Amino acid sequence: MNILLWIIQIVLALLFLIAGVPKLIMLDELMKNAPPEAIKLPYSFLRFVGVCEVLGALGLILPGLLRRWRGLTPLAAVGLLILMIGAVVVSIMGGGVSTAIVPFITALLCAFVAYGRLKLSPLR
């Protein structure tokens, strides 16, 4: 179970880094190239989401690697789960249910990591 959780944590961390870093670096270009039907959110909110995604990605990996503050991993997973619930809602509002599938699966994986690191296989 520990190996499975580590694999999911690494995949989620990469996913959130890939999603969060562009929001911090090149947000203006992303917003200019957004399709017209996309929901427009304030830049400051999107930057906040980018910071949360990057910090959450680091929180999934670093406590286990550094063997310090291991309780942060399930907290990071719960925080990312909350972000993904918001992403599901915004995706449904903007493009329908089909666009919410990826954020929903990501939310399920975050919930699994949170539960797994709290109950099934805590970091030692």
What 3-state DSSP class applies to 11? helix
Instruction: Report the distance separating Cα 27 and Cα 21, nearest Å.
Output: 9
Domain boundaries, the chain: 2-120
pLDDT by residue (tens digit) across 27-86? 677 677 766 666 677 888 888 999 999 999 999 999 989 888 888 999 999 999 999 999
pLDDT by residue (tens digit) across 90-108? 999 887 888 899 999 999 9
The residue with tokens 């493009």 is 95
pTM of the model: 0.87
Instruction: Report the distance separating Cα 47 and Cα 65, nearest Å.
Output: 27
Higher pLDDT, 101 or 124: 101
Higher pLDDT, 30 or 114: 114
Q: What is the CA radius of gyration of the chain?
A: 15
pLDDT of 113 above 90: yes
